[in-house]
Amino acid sequence: KTYARRGAFLPKVPFDPLKEGLPPSLLPSTDTSQLLALLVARTTLEEAIGPLERADKTRISCLLGVTSGQELYGQMSSRLRAPEWRAGMRAAGIDEASVEDAVKLIGDSMVPWTEATFPGLLGNVVAGRFANRLDLGGTNAVTDAACASSFAAISMAVDELVLRRADVVLTGGVDTLNDIFMYLCFSKTPALSASGDCRPFDAAA
């Protein structure tokens, strides 16, 4: 259970996979964070430096804060629970044919595995996907410093500019994992505000 009643939720966002250079068939195998972040990355760069076609993309780096957990990771790893499904149904006295039918139906309801699934669920691929789809030739990397991940990435981005390894750095944080499992994790810690108000530096935090 969770005691939290507040969250930051996004509405449906239009995404044109062909414009972003992704086959539509691979969308189910690509984490939401990678897709939404790609939209934000393109828009941010174009607003900052103008048309990407005219920029020296070999001098554009991408350093992002990305926490380790990704939505698709949990979905795909749940496929490994089939032995436990079987054991539970057998213990409940369900006949073997029905057990196998149920396991197949559960598996068929999940996102199928493809060759794109593994990179699609990895947090460390977010920056690489930017570099690949936007043809950026600078450094691309992610850092995981938990809730300070975006701050760590910005610090690294400043270093990249000061050391003249890049002329432009795309930086910030990427995290779209806001599902019930995360609420459960933070509630059991407990790390969420009981009142619903965020007061990280307050005595009553």
**pLDDT per residue as tens digits for the range 95-122:** 999 999 999 999 999 888 888 888 888 8
Task: Classify 168 as helix, strand or coil.
Answer: strand
- Distance of alpha carbon 9 from the chain centroid: 14
pLDDT of residue 145: 92
State pTM to two decimals.
0.82
Give every strand in the sheet of 60-66, ordered side by side: 140-143, 60-66, 168-174
pLDDT of residue 21: 84
- On the CB side of 176, CA atoms within 13 Å amount to 20
pLDDT of residue 204: 75
Mean pLDDT of 126-153: 92
